[in-house]
Amino acid sequence: MLSMLRRPFFWIITLAVVAFALAPVYGNDVSLRESLLLDALYITLASNLNLILGYAGYVNFGSIVFFGLGGYICVWLVNSYSWPLAPSLMVAGVCVSALALIFGLGILRLRGAFFALATIGVIEAVQAFVENFTPWGGSAGIYLSSEIFRPLGGPAHALWVIYFMMVAVMGLSLYLSYAIKTSKFGLGLLAIGQNEDAAAILGVPTPLYKALVYSVSAFLPAIAGGLYFFKSAFIQPSDAFDLSLSTEALVVGMLGGQGTVTGVAIGAFLYEELRGYLLTSSTFANFQLVVSGALLLLIVLFFPGGLMGFIYSRFPRTQKVLE
Amino acid sequence: MTALLQLDKVSKRFGGLQAVKDLSFEVREGEIVGLIGPNGAGKSTLFNLINGVFAPDTGRITFAGTDITGEKPYRVARSGLSRTHQIVQPLTNMTVLDNCTVGACFGKENLPLARAQVAARDAIAVAGLEDRAHMLAMHLTIAGKKRLELARALAAQPKLLMLDEVLAGLNPTEVEYMIGVIRRIRDRGVTILMIEHLMQAIMSLSDRIVVLNFGQKLAEGLPGEVAQHPQVIEAYLGNPKLAEELQGSSAHV
């Protein structure tokens, strides 16, 4: 682990995280904070999706299920059992990871388009379950009272605490992506992504690795979901299991460059900034999915390697520093 | 010499096709065994049965004293049995070094990453790919990809190496080079079971030869014996009398 400290890329991540955390503190800029919070959320979702999509080569449309379920478990524990935020988040992460491991062992037997379809099925199934699950408020969802912010020093202070926690989750996602990429586990995943049959013949324990990465990629998005819906003080199935957010996470990965840590993070940042602009501008409001569709088409056609693919081919030396 | 790999009445059927039938033979430690036979004789299927791509319908396969019948490919690889593919299967978007590191990481020794890279470099040197270690596998020529298959299997430091037509599609210079490589691998104490169509090469390399036809064993023995075997000549040339004619004509010379 100590050898990580000697790698430049570790410090690049650390620098980015510190910049995120400090930027809105100067000048107490609340609107910048809200915008960066969404950036951090997108980077978290996209980086974790990248573990299974970019490394292991499995197209997962269901990544949003981890986010939504994490949100539900956390909000429910806070609301019904008056748990504090931190343990609720941990429990949400662990439960969703365990659930993903069980799902993963089942649906990861499928490959290619069949797997992608099955993950859409997972979203639909989980959403249908939650809509009919009365302890979680069914389709009406769960509202939190403003009392929940009191332990965090009142609403205004709580929003800062939540922001720093979200940035921490983003940082952990980036470190995790990097640590996996440079590990034996990561090498096995990349081999699976290239040619699963050849990987198995070379000795990579494919079913175990796939289920593990599916489970690992669920943990931090579940915590991010808990934070996000705790902040909103409201959760309902249509927000928690929104297929379009899953699709956006896929677009972000392709935009930045699948399988790279830097590219996915930059892609998520740029995409979310663009989305924020489109949503608030009067001409393009509610237009952002059309733009993401068009972007995806252009990337697939002209830049299959995404942003990092382009940078690597132009400046091969960056490959040694930027993972 | 003890048997490293033992097949006992192994059979496999694909629908109406009996690909392998009641096949028994063994490979002893330290030898090179050649597996020959006409196209469709079941040679590649046999490799797939041994390393777990398919499970045999009946029969038993024992490797180094353990029963590996129907075991998953990654478990077979871990137990010290590596193979190459007739149709090359490189991890295309990874470098030659990374390809071999995968082999070393997940092979018999289950090495950690840093030591796996050392083993990978060693295997790359044996296969003569040092100058291309950092090239992406997809950019190699077919001869390069064949060497990569070999290097990757070797990086796993196997006890038994199964080679599926590593010489096919190579030009004579490349063939000669590969024969040298295979000899060097054997000298390191690796047992080899190889499929090959190139008769001169397999006759000179093998200690023993097993001949398959229609999924059954037609003959087994020293290269010289097998080459004289009338049924083998018939299987290859199609005319039952051709063997006698050839022998007759050679007697006249």
Q: Tell me what pLDDT residue B75 has.
A: 93
Q: Tell me what pLDDT residue A251 has.
A: 84
Q: Tell me what pLDDT residue A47 has.
A: 95
Q: Is B229 exposed, middle or buried (0-12, 13-18, 19+ CB in 10 A)?
A: middle
Q: What is the pTM of this model?
A: 0.89
Give the nearest partner residue to B77 out of A184, A187, A202, using CB atoms.
Answer: A202
User: What SS3 state is found at B61?
Assistant: strand
Q: Is B22:B12 a contact under the CB 8 Å cutoff?
A: no
pLDDT at A286 over 70: no
Q: Do B91 and A190 touch (CB under 8 A)?
A: yes
Judge whether B85 is closer than 8 Å to chain A, CB to CB.
yes
Q: pLDDT digits over A33-79, tens only? A: 999 999 999 999 999 999 999 999 999 898 899 999 999 999 999 98
Which residues 287-316 of chain A have a CB within 8 Å of chain B?
none
Closest-CA residue of A relative to B75 is A203
Judge whether B103 is closer than 8 Å to chain A, CB to CB.
yes
Q: Is A71:A226 a contact under the CB 8 Å cutoff?
A: yes
Q: Tell me what pLDDT residue A247 has.
A: 85
Q: Tell me what pLDDT residue B248 has.
A: 63
Quick count: other Cβ atoms within 10 Å of Cβ A217?
A: 30
Q: pLDDT digits over B115-166, tens only? A: 999 999 999 999 889 999 899 999 999 889 999 999 999 999 999 999 999 8
Q: Do B102 and A205 touch (CB under 8 A)?
A: no
pLDDT band, residue A293 (cuts 50/70/90):
confident
Q: pLDDT digits over A154-172, tens only? A: 888 889 999 999 999 999 9
For residue B163, the 8-state DSSP code is: E
Judge whether A197 is closer than 8 Å to chain B, CB to CB.
yes
Closest-CA residue of B relative to A198 is B89
Instruction: Name which residue leads in pLDDT, B83 or B252.
Output: B83
Q: What ranges do the domains of chain A cover? A: 2-321
Q: Tell me what pLDDT residue A252 has.
A: 86
Q: Give how far A182 is from chain B: nearest CA, Å.
A: 9
Q: Tell me what pLDDT residue A280 has.
A: 78
Judge whether B115 is closer than 8 Å to chain A, CB to CB.
no
Which string of b and e fits B62-98 if b means at least 16 CB within 10 Å?
bbbeeebbebbbbebbbbbbbbbbbebbbbbebbbbb
Instruction: Name which residue leads in pLDDT, A3 or B185.
Output: B185
Q: Give how far B48 is from chain A: nearest CA, Å.
A: 10
pLDDT at B1 over 70: no
Q: pLDDT digits over A122-149, tens only? A: 999 999 999 999 899 888 889 988 888 8
Closest-CA residue of A relative to B115 is A184
Judge whether B53 is closer than 8 Å to chain A, CB to CB.
yes
Q: Which helix (H) or strand (E) holds B160?
A: strand B160-164
Q: Which residues of chain A have a CB within 8 Å of the CB of B89?
A: 195, 197-198, 201
The whole-number average pLDDT for the span B199-228 is 89
Residue B172 tokens, joined: 């004579």
Instruction: Name which residue leads in pLDDT, A287 or A218.
Output: A218
The whole-number average pLDDT for the span A244-268 is 87
Its ipTM equals 0.87
Tell me phi and psi for residue B71, to 5 degrees.
-70, 150
Q: Which residues of chain A have a CB within 8 Å of the CB of B161?
A: none
Residue A292 tokens, joined: 């993401």
Mean pLDDT of chain A: 89
- Radius of gyration of chain B, Cα coordinates, nearest whole angstrom: 19
CA distance B170 to B86: 12
Query: Nearest CA to A296 among A245, A255, A263?
Result: A255
Q: pLDDT digits over B108-125, tens only? A: 888 898 899 999 999 999
Q: Tell me what pLDDT residue A323 has.
A: 82
Instruction: Name which residue leads in pLDDT, B237 or A236.
Output: A236
Judge whether A202 is closer than 8 Å to chain B, CB to CB.
yes
In this structure, which topology does domain A2-321 adopt according to CATH? ABC transporter involved in vitamin B12 uptake, BtuC (1.10.3470)
Mean pLDDT of chain B: 88
Quick count: other Cβ atoms within 10 Å of Cβ A177?
A: 28
Strand-pair partners of B33? B193, B208
Determine what percent of chain B is predicted with pLDDT higher than 90.
Answer: 57
Query: Nearest CA to A250 among A62, A33, A34?
Result: A62
Judge whether A147 is closer than 8 Å to chain B, CB to CB.
no
- Radius of gyration of chain A, Cα coordinates, nearest whole angstrom: 19
Judge whether A187 is closer than 8 Å to chain B, CB to CB.
yes
Instruction: Name which residue leads in pLDDT, B219 or A287.
Output: B219
Quick one: how many helices (H) and strands (E) in chain A?
A: 15, 2
The edge-to-edge listing of strands for the beta sheet with B160-164 is: B81-83, B160-164, B191-195, B32-36, B208-213, B216-221
pLDDT at B244 over 80: no
Q: Tell me what pLDDT residue B253 has.
A: 43
Looking from the CA of B23 toward its CB, the CA atoms found within 13 Å total: 34
Which residues 163-222 of chain B have a CB within 8 Å of chain A?
none
The whole-number average pLDDT for the span B229-242 is 74
Instruction: Count A/B contacts: CB-CB distance under 8 Å.
Output: 70
Q: Give how far B84 is from chain A: nearest CA, Å.
A: 9
Q: Which residues of chain B have a CB within 8 Å of the CB of A183?
A: 113
The whole-number average pLDDT for the span B97-114 is 91
Strand-pair partners of B81? B160
CA distance A254 to A310: 12
The whole-number average pLDDT for the span A294-311 is 82
Q: Tell me what pLDDT residue A8 has.
A: 86
Q: Do B102 and A197 touch (CB under 8 A)?
A: no
User: What SS3 state is found at B22?
Assistant: strand
CA distance A133 to A92: 17
pLDDT at B67 over 60: yes
Q: pLDDT digits over A171-205, tens only? A: 999 999 999 999 999 999 999 999 999 999 999 99
Q: Which residues of chain A have a CB within 8 Å of the CB of B51?
A: 201
Give the nearest partner residue to A195 out of B77, B89, B98, using CB atoms.
Answer: B89
Looking from the CA of A120 toward its CB, the CA atoms found within 13 Å total: 8
**What DSSP string runs through A41-79?**
HHHHHHHHHHIIIIIS----TTHHHHHHHHHHHHHHHHH
CA distance A150 to A171: 27
Q: Is B3:B28 a contact under the CB 8 Å cutoff?
A: yes
Q: Give how far A192 is from chain B: nearest CA, Å.
A: 9
Strand-pair partners of B221? B209
Give the nearest partner residue to A200 out of B73, B101, B103, using CB atoms.
Answer: B73
Judge whether A205 is closer than 8 Å to chain B, CB to CB.
yes
Q: Is B174:B183 a contact under the CB 8 Å cutoff?
A: no
